Chains A and B, each alone.
Chain A
Amino acid sequence: MSFRLSYRADPGNPWFSWQYVRDNSDTILAAVREHASLTGRAVLIAVLIALPLSVLAYWVRPLAGPILAVSGVVYTIPSLALFAFIAPYLGTGATTVLVGLVLYALLLIVRNVVAGLNQVPPEVREAAEGMGYGRWRRLFRIDLPLALPGIVTGVRLATVSTVALVTVGVLVGHGGLGQLIFAGFQNNLYKAEIMTAALLCVALAVVLDLLLILVARLVTPWSTRRAR
Protein backbone atom coordinates (compact mmCIF):
# COMPACT_ATOMS: atom_id res chain seq x y z
CA MET A 1 0.00 0.00 0.00
CA SER A 2 1.27 3.46 -0.77
CA PHE A 3 0.18 6.55 1.06
CA ARG A 4 0.15 9.77 -0.90
CA LEU A 5 1.18 12.69 1.24
CA SER A 6 -1.33 15.35 0.34
CA TYR A 7 -0.68 17.21 3.58
CA ARG A 8 2.36 18.98 2.23
CA ALA A 9 0.06 21.46 0.52
CA ASP A 10 -1.65 22.16 3.80
CA PRO A 11 0.82 23.29 6.46
CA GLY A 12 -1.88 23.44 9.15
CA ASN A 13 -1.98 19.66 9.75
CA PRO A 14 -5.67 19.81 10.71
CA TRP A 15 -7.48 17.16 12.74
CA PHE A 16 -9.68 16.36 9.82
CA SER A 17 -9.53 17.25 6.15
CA TRP A 18 -11.86 16.31 3.33
CA GLN A 19 -8.93 16.91 1.04
CA TYR A 20 -7.16 13.94 2.61
CA VAL A 21 -10.28 11.75 2.41
CA ARG A 22 -10.81 12.67 -1.28
CA ASP A 23 -7.20 12.18 -2.27
CA ASN A 24 -6.83 8.86 -0.49
CA SER A 25 -10.29 7.38 -0.92
CA ASP A 26 -8.90 4.22 -2.57
CA THR A 27 -6.46 3.52 0.25
CA ILE A 28 -9.10 4.25 2.88
CA LEU A 29 -11.67 2.00 1.23
CA ALA A 30 -9.15 -0.81 0.89
CA ALA A 31 -8.30 -0.50 4.59
CA VAL A 32 -11.97 -0.49 5.61
CA ARG A 33 -12.56 -3.54 3.43
CA GLU A 34 -9.65 -5.44 4.98
CA HIS A 35 -10.77 -4.41 8.46
CA ALA A 36 -14.38 -5.47 7.92
CA SER A 37 -13.44 -8.74 6.22
CA LEU A 38 -10.98 -9.71 8.98
CA THR A 39 -13.61 -8.90 11.62
CA GLY A 40 -16.36 -10.76 9.81
CA ARG A 41 -14.31 -13.86 9.13
CA ALA A 42 -12.90 -13.96 12.68
CA VAL A 43 -16.31 -13.66 14.35
CA LEU A 44 -17.90 -16.18 11.97
CA ILE A 45 -15.20 -18.80 12.55
CA ALA A 46 -15.29 -18.09 16.29
CA VAL A 47 -19.06 -18.64 16.39
CA LEU A 48 -18.75 -21.91 14.47
CA ILE A 49 -16.19 -23.21 16.96
CA ALA A 50 -17.73 -21.65 20.07
CA LEU A 51 -21.23 -23.09 19.73
CA PRO A 52 -20.24 -26.80 19.75
CA LEU A 53 -17.68 -26.08 22.49
CA SER A 54 -20.32 -24.38 24.66
CA VAL A 55 -22.80 -27.20 24.13
CA LEU A 56 -20.07 -29.64 25.15
CA ALA A 57 -19.43 -27.64 28.33
CA TYR A 58 -23.19 -27.58 28.95
CA TRP A 59 -23.75 -31.31 28.43
CA VAL A 60 -20.59 -32.63 30.05
CA ARG A 61 -20.50 -30.67 33.31
CA PRO A 62 -16.97 -31.73 34.36
CA LEU A 63 -15.63 -30.14 31.15
CA ALA A 64 -17.22 -26.74 31.85
CA GLY A 65 -14.63 -25.76 34.47
CA PRO A 66 -11.53 -26.58 32.40
CA ILE A 67 -12.96 -25.03 29.21
CA LEU A 68 -13.72 -21.75 30.96
CA ALA A 69 -10.42 -21.79 32.88
CA VAL A 70 -8.32 -22.30 29.74
CA SER A 71 -10.31 -19.54 28.02
CA GLY A 72 -9.59 -17.24 30.95
CA VAL A 73 -5.86 -17.87 30.79
CA VAL A 74 -5.66 -17.39 27.01
CA TYR A 75 -7.73 -14.24 27.38
CA THR A 76 -5.22 -12.80 29.85
CA ILE A 77 -2.40 -13.15 27.30
CA PRO A 78 -1.87 -9.73 25.71
CA SER A 79 -2.71 -9.53 22.01
CA LEU A 80 0.81 -8.52 21.03
CA ALA A 81 2.23 -11.61 22.77
CA LEU A 82 -0.38 -13.85 21.14
CA PHE A 83 0.54 -12.55 17.69
CA ALA A 84 4.20 -13.03 18.61
CA PHE A 85 3.53 -16.70 19.39
CA ILE A 86 1.61 -17.30 16.17
CA ALA A 87 3.71 -15.32 13.68
CA PRO A 88 6.86 -17.51 13.71
CA TYR A 89 4.71 -20.47 12.69
CA LEU A 90 2.24 -18.91 10.27
CA GLY A 91 4.41 -16.12 8.91
CA THR A 92 3.46 -12.48 8.48
CA GLY A 93 0.23 -12.97 6.59
CA ALA A 94 -3.37 -12.13 7.31
CA THR A 95 -3.77 -15.70 8.65
CA THR A 96 -1.72 -14.83 11.72
CA VAL A 97 -4.04 -11.93 12.53
CA LEU A 98 -7.10 -14.05 11.82
CA VAL A 99 -6.03 -16.87 14.17
CA GLY A 100 -5.33 -14.38 16.99
CA LEU A 101 -8.66 -12.64 16.48
CA VAL A 102 -10.54 -15.96 16.43
CA LEU A 103 -8.92 -17.04 19.73
CA TYR A 104 -10.01 -13.86 21.52
CA ALA A 105 -13.52 -13.79 20.01
CA LEU A 106 -13.92 -17.48 20.85
CA LEU A 107 -13.44 -16.87 24.56
CA LEU A 108 -15.95 -14.03 24.75
CA ILE A 109 -18.57 -16.05 22.89
CA VAL A 110 -18.05 -19.33 24.80
CA ARG A 111 -18.29 -17.53 28.14
CA ASN A 112 -21.58 -15.87 27.23
CA VAL A 113 -23.16 -18.87 25.50
CA VAL A 114 -22.39 -21.13 28.48
CA ALA A 115 -23.92 -18.51 30.77
CA GLY A 116 -26.95 -18.31 28.47
CA LEU A 117 -27.40 -22.10 28.38
CA ASN A 118 -27.08 -22.33 32.15
CA GLN A 119 -29.84 -19.77 32.52
CA VAL A 120 -32.40 -22.10 30.94
CA PRO A 121 -34.80 -22.77 33.84
CA PRO A 122 -34.65 -26.38 35.11
CA GLU A 123 -38.48 -26.57 35.04
CA VAL A 124 -38.43 -25.88 31.32
CA ARG A 125 -35.78 -28.53 30.79
CA GLU A 126 -37.77 -31.07 32.80
CA ALA A 127 -40.97 -30.19 31.00
CA ALA A 128 -39.25 -30.80 27.66
CA GLU A 129 -37.95 -34.14 28.88
CA GLY A 130 -41.44 -35.01 30.12
CA MET A 131 -42.81 -34.26 26.68
CA GLY A 132 -40.43 -36.83 25.26
CA TYR A 133 -37.83 -34.47 23.78
CA GLY A 134 -34.52 -36.18 23.15
CA ARG A 135 -31.17 -34.57 23.84
CA TRP A 136 -30.69 -33.08 20.34
CA ARG A 137 -34.28 -32.01 19.85
CA ARG A 138 -34.25 -30.33 23.25
CA LEU A 139 -31.02 -28.54 22.33
CA PHE A 140 -32.37 -27.07 19.10
CA ARG A 141 -35.98 -26.48 20.16
CA ILE A 142 -35.56 -25.43 23.80
CA ASP A 143 -32.02 -24.75 25.04
CA LEU A 144 -30.48 -22.79 22.18
CA PRO A 145 -33.52 -20.57 21.52
CA LEU A 146 -33.72 -19.74 25.23
CA ALA A 147 -29.97 -19.06 25.31
CA LEU A 148 -30.19 -16.68 22.34
CA PRO A 149 -29.85 -13.52 24.47
CA GLY A 150 -26.56 -14.85 25.85
CA ILE A 151 -25.38 -15.88 22.38
CA VAL A 152 -26.21 -12.43 21.00
CA THR A 153 -24.42 -10.67 23.88
CA GLY A 154 -21.34 -12.79 23.27
CA VAL A 155 -21.31 -12.17 19.52
CA ARG A 156 -21.82 -8.42 19.99
CA LEU A 157 -18.99 -8.13 22.52
CA ALA A 158 -16.75 -10.27 20.34
CA THR A 159 -17.50 -8.16 17.26
CA VAL A 160 -16.87 -4.81 18.90
CA SER A 161 -13.65 -5.89 20.58
CA THR A 162 -12.46 -7.61 17.39
CA VAL A 163 -12.87 -4.37 15.45
CA ALA A 164 -10.61 -2.64 17.97
CA LEU A 165 -8.20 -5.57 18.03
CA VAL A 166 -7.66 -5.78 14.27
CA THR A 167 -5.49 -2.64 14.53
CA VAL A 168 -2.85 -4.61 16.45
CA GLY A 169 -2.39 -6.59 13.21
CA VAL A 170 -0.12 -3.72 12.17
CA LEU A 171 2.60 -5.82 13.76
CA VAL A 172 2.48 -8.20 10.79
CA GLY A 173 1.31 -5.64 8.25
CA HIS A 174 -2.38 -6.60 8.17
CA GLY A 175 -4.04 -4.20 10.54
CA GLY A 176 -6.82 -2.83 8.33
CA LEU A 177 -7.44 0.74 9.45
CA GLY A 178 -4.61 0.26 11.93
CA GLN A 179 -2.25 0.48 8.95
CA LEU A 180 -3.47 4.02 8.30
CA ILE A 181 -3.22 4.99 11.97
CA PHE A 182 0.33 3.71 12.13
CA ALA A 183 1.29 5.29 8.80
CA GLY A 184 -0.11 8.59 10.03
CA PHE A 185 1.98 8.30 13.15
CA GLN A 186 5.09 7.70 11.10
CA ASN A 187 4.28 10.53 8.66
CA ASN A 188 5.25 13.11 11.29
CA LEU A 189 1.95 12.70 13.12
CA TYR A 190 -0.31 13.33 10.17
CA LYS A 191 -3.44 14.08 12.22
CA ALA A 192 -6.01 13.84 9.42
CA GLU A 193 -4.90 10.32 8.53
CA ILE A 194 -4.85 9.11 12.15
CA MET A 195 -8.20 10.72 12.95
CA THR A 196 -10.00 9.51 9.82
CA ALA A 197 -8.90 5.93 10.43
CA ALA A 198 -9.72 6.06 14.15
CA LEU A 199 -13.19 7.49 13.50
CA LEU A 200 -13.86 4.88 10.81
CA CYS A 201 -12.79 2.20 13.27
CA VAL A 202 -15.26 3.36 15.90
CA ALA A 203 -17.95 3.85 13.23
CA LEU A 204 -17.40 0.29 11.96
CA ALA A 205 -17.81 -1.06 15.50
CA VAL A 206 -21.01 0.93 16.02
CA VAL A 207 -22.50 -0.07 12.65
CA LEU A 208 -21.75 -3.78 13.17
CA ASP A 209 -23.16 -3.60 16.71
CA LEU A 210 -26.39 -1.99 15.46
CA LEU A 211 -26.66 -4.63 12.73
CA LEU A 212 -26.34 -7.38 15.31
CA ILE A 213 -29.00 -5.75 17.51
CA LEU A 214 -31.29 -5.72 14.47
CA VAL A 215 -30.57 -9.38 13.71
CA ALA A 216 -31.18 -10.22 17.37
CA ARG A 217 -34.59 -8.49 17.20
CA LEU A 218 -35.48 -10.53 14.13
CA VAL A 219 -34.47 -13.91 15.56
CA THR A 220 -35.99 -13.30 19.01
CA PRO A 221 -39.33 -11.65 18.24
CA TRP A 222 -40.66 -12.70 21.66
CA SER A 223 -38.19 -10.48 23.54
CA THR A 224 -39.54 -7.27 22.01
CA ARG A 225 -43.10 -8.43 22.35
CA ARG A 226 -42.57 -8.95 26.05
CA ALA A 227 -40.98 -5.56 26.46
CA ARG A 228 -44.01 -3.78 25.10
Chain B
Amino acid sequence: MTVAENPIGQAITWINDPLNWTNPGGMLDRLGEHLTISALAVALGCLVAWPLGLWLGHLGRGGGLVVLISNATLAIPTLALLTILPVVFASGFGKTPVVVALAVFAVPPLLANAYTGVRQVDPEARDAARGMGLSGGQLLRRVELPLAVPYLAAGFRTAAVQVIATAALASFVNGGGLGQIIRTGFGIGIAAGGGQIVAGGVLVAGLALLAEVVLGGVERLVTPKPLRRGRQRLGRPRAADATGSA
Protein backbone atom coordinates (compact mmCIF):
# COMPACT_ATOMS: atom_id res chain seq x y z
CA MET B 1 0.00 0.00 0.00
CA THR B 2 1.48 3.23 -1.12
CA VAL B 3 -0.15 6.53 -0.33
CA ALA B 4 0.65 9.70 -2.22
CA GLU B 5 2.09 12.70 -0.38
CA ASN B 6 -0.54 15.30 -1.19
CA PRO B 7 -2.77 14.06 -3.98
CA ILE B 8 -4.77 17.29 -4.33
CA GLY B 9 -1.66 19.43 -4.72
CA GLN B 10 -0.28 16.94 -7.25
CA ALA B 11 -3.59 17.01 -9.10
CA ILE B 12 -3.49 20.79 -9.40
CA THR B 13 0.06 20.62 -10.70
CA TRP B 14 -0.95 17.96 -13.21
CA ILE B 15 -3.95 19.91 -14.48
CA ASN B 16 -1.87 23.09 -14.79
CA ASP B 17 0.64 21.45 -17.12
CA PRO B 18 -0.45 22.53 -20.62
CA LEU B 19 1.11 19.43 -22.17
CA ASN B 20 -1.33 17.26 -20.23
CA TRP B 21 -4.09 19.04 -22.13
CA THR B 22 -2.75 18.98 -25.66
CA ASN B 23 -0.60 15.82 -25.80
CA PRO B 24 -1.91 12.90 -27.81
CA GLY B 25 -3.99 11.06 -25.22
CA GLY B 26 -4.17 14.26 -23.17
CA MET B 27 -7.26 15.70 -21.57
CA LEU B 28 -8.71 17.27 -24.74
CA ASP B 29 -8.30 14.04 -26.73
CA ARG B 30 -9.86 11.99 -23.97
CA LEU B 31 -12.71 14.45 -23.50
CA GLY B 32 -13.48 14.26 -27.22
CA GLU B 33 -13.47 10.45 -27.13
CA HIS B 34 -15.63 10.43 -24.02
CA LEU B 35 -18.23 12.77 -25.53
CA THR B 36 -18.24 10.93 -28.89
CA ILE B 37 -18.75 7.51 -27.32
CA SER B 38 -21.44 8.83 -24.96
CA ALA B 39 -23.33 10.75 -27.65
CA LEU B 40 -23.37 7.75 -29.99
CA ALA B 41 -24.52 5.43 -27.20
CA VAL B 42 -27.34 7.73 -26.08
CA ALA B 43 -28.44 8.26 -29.70
CA LEU B 44 -28.50 4.50 -30.26
CA GLY B 45 -30.41 3.98 -27.03
CA CYS B 46 -33.00 6.61 -28.03
CA LEU B 47 -33.43 5.04 -31.47
CA VAL B 48 -34.27 1.69 -29.89
CA ALA B 49 -36.03 2.64 -26.66
CA TRP B 50 -38.21 5.60 -27.60
CA PRO B 51 -40.21 4.04 -30.47
CA LEU B 52 -40.63 0.84 -28.46
CA GLY B 53 -41.63 2.63 -25.25
CA LEU B 54 -44.05 5.00 -27.00
CA TRP B 55 -45.61 2.12 -28.90
CA LEU B 56 -45.99 -0.08 -25.81
CA GLY B 57 -47.42 2.88 -23.92
CA HIS B 58 -49.85 3.54 -26.78
CA LEU B 59 -51.01 -0.07 -26.70
CA GLY B 60 -51.10 0.03 -22.89
CA ARG B 61 -49.32 -3.29 -22.82
CA GLY B 62 -45.89 -4.53 -21.84
CA GLY B 63 -45.56 -2.72 -18.51
CA GLY B 64 -44.17 -5.95 -17.08
CA LEU B 65 -41.60 -6.14 -19.86
CA VAL B 66 -40.39 -2.60 -19.09
CA VAL B 67 -39.91 -3.44 -15.40
CA LEU B 68 -38.20 -6.72 -16.28
CA ILE B 69 -35.69 -4.97 -18.56
CA SER B 70 -34.94 -2.37 -15.87
CA ASN B 71 -34.33 -5.02 -13.22
CA ALA B 72 -32.30 -7.31 -15.47
CA THR B 73 -29.87 -4.59 -16.52
CA LEU B 74 -29.47 -3.56 -12.89
CA ALA B 75 -27.89 -6.92 -12.06
CA ILE B 76 -25.55 -7.10 -15.08
CA PRO B 77 -22.10 -5.78 -14.24
CA THR B 78 -21.04 -3.09 -16.70
CA LEU B 79 -17.59 -4.59 -16.90
CA ALA B 80 -19.02 -7.94 -18.04
CA LEU B 81 -20.98 -6.37 -20.87
CA LEU B 82 -18.02 -4.24 -21.92
CA THR B 83 -15.78 -7.29 -22.17
CA ILE B 84 -18.34 -9.64 -23.73
CA LEU B 85 -19.52 -7.40 -26.57
CA PRO B 86 -16.14 -7.10 -28.33
CA VAL B 87 -16.25 -10.90 -28.58
CA VAL B 88 -19.78 -10.87 -29.97
CA PHE B 89 -18.92 -8.31 -32.61
CA ALA B 90 -15.70 -10.13 -33.40
CA SER B 91 -14.35 -6.73 -34.40
CA GLY B 92 -11.88 -6.66 -31.53
CA PHE B 93 -11.40 -3.35 -29.83
CA GLY B 94 -13.10 -0.74 -32.00
CA LYS B 95 -15.61 1.78 -30.70
CA THR B 96 -18.71 -0.14 -31.81
CA PRO B 97 -18.83 -2.73 -28.99
CA VAL B 98 -18.26 -0.03 -26.36
CA VAL B 99 -21.03 2.14 -27.82
CA VAL B 100 -23.44 -0.81 -27.94
CA ALA B 101 -22.60 -1.85 -24.36
CA LEU B 102 -23.24 1.68 -23.10
CA ALA B 103 -26.45 1.92 -25.14
CA VAL B 104 -27.73 -1.19 -23.35
CA PHE B 105 -27.49 0.72 -20.06
CA ALA B 106 -29.19 3.78 -21.58
CA VAL B 107 -32.25 1.79 -22.67
CA PRO B 108 -34.02 1.16 -19.30
CA PRO B 109 -34.52 4.80 -18.25
CA LEU B 110 -35.41 5.85 -21.81
CA LEU B 111 -37.86 2.98 -22.21
CA ALA B 112 -39.49 3.35 -18.79
CA ASN B 113 -39.98 7.10 -19.24
CA ALA B 114 -41.36 6.81 -22.77
CA TYR B 115 -43.80 4.16 -21.57
CA THR B 116 -44.88 6.08 -18.45
CA GLY B 117 -45.05 9.32 -20.44
CA VAL B 118 -47.70 7.90 -22.76
CA ARG B 119 -49.50 6.00 -20.00
CA GLN B 120 -49.93 9.10 -17.83
CA VAL B 121 -51.85 10.97 -20.56
CA ASP B 122 -55.30 11.84 -19.27
CA PRO B 123 -57.71 9.17 -20.59
CA GLU B 124 -60.22 11.95 -21.24
CA ALA B 125 -57.82 13.68 -23.62
CA ARG B 126 -57.39 10.37 -25.37
CA ASP B 127 -61.15 9.82 -25.58
CA ALA B 128 -61.68 13.35 -26.90
CA ALA B 129 -59.07 12.78 -29.60
CA ARG B 130 -60.71 9.50 -30.56
CA GLY B 131 -64.08 11.26 -30.65
CA MET B 132 -62.64 13.84 -33.04
CA GLY B 133 -61.89 10.97 -35.37
CA LEU B 134 -58.12 10.64 -34.89
CA SER B 135 -56.70 7.29 -35.88
CA GLY B 136 -54.38 5.34 -33.58
CA GLY B 137 -51.26 6.70 -35.25
CA GLN B 138 -52.55 10.27 -35.24
CA LEU B 139 -53.51 9.95 -31.57
CA LEU B 140 -49.96 8.86 -30.73
CA ARG B 141 -48.30 11.56 -32.83
CA ARG B 142 -50.55 14.55 -32.09
CA VAL B 143 -51.79 13.94 -28.55
CA GLU B 144 -49.77 11.37 -26.64
CA LEU B 145 -46.30 12.25 -27.93
CA PRO B 146 -46.48 16.01 -27.12
CA LEU B 147 -47.86 15.24 -23.67
CA ALA B 148 -45.07 12.74 -23.04
CA VAL B 149 -42.25 15.17 -23.90
CA PRO B 150 -41.42 16.10 -20.25
CA TYR B 151 -41.06 12.41 -19.46
CA LEU B 152 -38.91 11.81 -22.51
CA ALA B 153 -36.68 14.67 -21.36
CA ALA B 154 -36.43 13.22 -17.84
CA GLY B 155 -35.48 9.84 -19.29
CA PHE B 156 -32.97 11.45 -21.60
CA ARG B 157 -31.27 13.18 -18.70
CA THR B 158 -31.09 10.04 -16.57
CA ALA B 159 -29.79 7.99 -19.49
CA ALA B 160 -27.24 10.57 -20.63
CA VAL B 161 -25.78 11.11 -17.14
CA GLN B 162 -25.63 7.36 -16.66
CA VAL B 163 -23.88 6.77 -19.99
CA ILE B 164 -21.36 9.55 -19.33
CA ALA B 165 -20.62 7.97 -15.93
CA THR B 166 -20.36 4.46 -17.34
CA ALA B 167 -18.24 5.55 -20.31
CA ALA B 168 -15.39 6.03 -17.83
CA LEU B 169 -15.29 2.23 -17.54
CA ALA B 170 -14.59 1.91 -21.27
CA SER B 171 -10.96 2.48 -20.30
CA PHE B 172 -10.86 -1.10 -18.95
CA VAL B 173 -11.32 -2.43 -22.47
CA ASN B 174 -9.05 0.23 -23.99
CA GLY B 175 -12.07 2.08 -25.31
CA GLY B 176 -10.65 5.51 -24.54
CA GLY B 177 -12.45 8.31 -22.74
CA LEU B 178 -11.59 10.23 -19.59
CA GLY B 179 -11.39 7.01 -17.56
CA GLN B 180 -8.13 6.35 -19.41
CA ILE B 181 -6.49 9.20 -17.48
CA ILE B 182 -7.33 7.49 -14.19
CA ARG B 183 -6.18 4.11 -15.46
CA THR B 184 -2.88 5.55 -16.68
CA GLY B 185 -2.41 7.11 -13.25
CA PHE B 186 -2.87 3.74 -11.58
CA GLY B 187 -0.47 2.31 -14.14
CA ILE B 188 2.26 4.69 -12.96
CA GLY B 189 1.46 3.83 -9.34
CA ILE B 190 -0.28 5.85 -6.68
CA ALA B 191 2.86 7.48 -5.31
CA ALA B 192 3.79 9.04 -8.65
CA GLY B 193 0.42 9.09 -10.37
CA GLY B 194 -1.76 10.14 -7.46
CA GLY B 195 -2.21 13.62 -8.89
CA GLN B 196 -3.19 12.27 -12.28
CA ILE B 197 -5.64 9.83 -10.67
CA VAL B 198 -7.39 12.59 -8.72
CA ALA B 199 -7.31 14.92 -11.75
CA GLY B 200 -8.96 12.22 -13.87
CA GLY B 201 -11.55 11.68 -11.16
CA VAL B 202 -12.32 15.40 -11.07
CA LEU B 203 -12.76 15.48 -14.85
CA VAL B 204 -15.03 12.41 -14.93
CA ALA B 205 -17.13 13.56 -11.97
CA GLY B 206 -17.26 17.14 -13.26
CA LEU B 207 -18.51 16.06 -16.66
CA ALA B 208 -21.24 13.89 -15.11
CA LEU B 209 -22.39 16.67 -12.77
CA LEU B 210 -22.29 19.22 -15.60
CA ALA B 211 -24.42 16.96 -17.78
CA GLU B 212 -26.87 16.53 -14.91
CA VAL B 213 -27.22 20.29 -14.40
CA VAL B 214 -27.43 21.22 -18.11
CA LEU B 215 -29.90 18.47 -19.00
CA GLY B 216 -31.91 19.28 -15.86
CA GLY B 217 -32.26 22.80 -17.30
CA VAL B 218 -33.33 21.39 -20.66
CA GLU B 219 -35.87 19.21 -18.88
CA ARG B 220 -37.36 22.27 -17.17
CA LEU B 221 -37.48 24.19 -20.46
CA VAL B 222 -39.49 21.54 -22.29
CA THR B 223 -41.84 20.94 -19.37
CA PRO B 224 -44.91 23.18 -19.66
CA LYS B 225 -45.27 25.47 -16.64
CA PRO B 226 -48.43 23.94 -15.15
CA LEU B 227 -46.72 20.56 -15.02
CA ARG B 228 -43.51 21.73 -13.35
CA ARG B 229 -44.62 21.64 -9.78
CA GLY B 230 -46.06 18.67 -7.98
CA ARG B 231 -45.38 16.30 -10.82
CA GLN B 232 -43.85 13.21 -9.34
CA ARG B 233 -41.08 11.77 -11.36
CA LEU B 234 -42.91 8.50 -11.80
CA GLY B 235 -41.02 7.59 -14.89
CA ARG B 236 -37.74 7.55 -13.10
CA PRO B 237 -37.83 4.19 -11.46
CA ARG B 238 -35.31 3.54 -8.75
CA ALA B 239 -34.11 0.48 -10.62
CA ALA B 240 -33.04 2.54 -13.58
CA ASP B 241 -31.50 5.09 -11.27
CA ALA B 242 -29.35 2.55 -9.62
CA THR B 243 -27.63 1.39 -12.77
CA GLY B 244 -26.20 4.87 -13.09
CA SER B 245 -23.54 4.18 -10.59
CA ALA B 246 -21.97 1.17 -12.25
Contacts and interface: CB of A to CB of B under 8 A. Distances in A.
Interface string A158-185: 0011011111101110010110011011
Task: Name which of A73, A76, A84, A93 has the most chain B CB atoms within 10 A of its CB.
Answer: A84
A100 to B, nearest CB: 10
B209 to A, nearest CB: 6
A19 to B, nearest CB: 18
Contacts, number: 161
A81 B182 contact: yes
Given A80-B169, A161-B246, A178 B77 contact: yes
Closest 8 CB pairs of A and B: A84-B201, A91-B1, A78-B165, A88-B7, A198-B80, A81-B204, A81-B201, A88-B194
Contacts of A93: 1
Contact of B79 (A112, A160, A182, A195): A182
Contacts of B242: 108, 157, 160-161
A64 B1 CA distance: 38
B75 A202 contact: yes
B86 interface: yes
A105 to B, nearest CB: 10
Contact of A191 (B3, B87, B212, B244): B87
Contacts of B76: 164, 198, 201-202
A181 B85 CA distance: 12
Interface residues of A, number: 53
A78 B179 CA distance: 10
A79 B149 CA distance: 30
A91 B202 CA distance: 18
A170 B79 contact: yes
A167 B77 contact: yes
B198 A88 contact: yes
Task: Name which of B80, B164, B200, B212 has the most chain A CB atoms within 10 A of its CB.
Answer: B80
A185 B86 CA distance: 10
Interface in B136-181: 161, 164-166, 168-169, 171-173, 179
Interface in A47-97: 73, 75-85, 87-93
Nearest to A171: B186
B237 to A, nearest CB: 10
Nearest to B75: A205
A164 B77 contact: yes
B75 to A, nearest CB: 4
Contacts of A80: 168-169, 171, 179, 182, 201, 204
A192 B67 CA distance: 30
Interface of A: 73, 75-85, 87-93, 104, 108, 111-112, 153, 157, 160-161, 163-168, 170-172, 175, 177-178, 181-182, 184-185, 189, 191, 194-195, 197-198, 201-202, 205-206
Given A76-B244, A83-B201, 19 more contacts: A78-B208, A79-B168, A80-B168, A80-B179, A80-B182, A80-B201, A81-B202, A85-B198, A92-B1, A153-B238, A157-B239, A157-B242, A164-B246, A170-B79, A177-B77, A185-B172, A194-B80, A195-B84, A198-B80
B113 interface: no
Contact of A185 (B1, B74, B173, B185): B173
B243 interface: yes
Contacts of B1: 91-93
10 contacts: A76-B205, A76-B209, A80-B182, A81-B201, A88-B7, A153-B238, A171-B183, A185-B83, A194-B80, A201-B76
A178 B172 CA distance: 11
Contacts of A81: 168, 182, 200-202, 204-205, 208
B80 A167 contact: yes
Contacts of A79: 165, 168-169, 245-246
B78 A164 contact: yes
A87 B246 contact: no
A161 B245 contact: yes
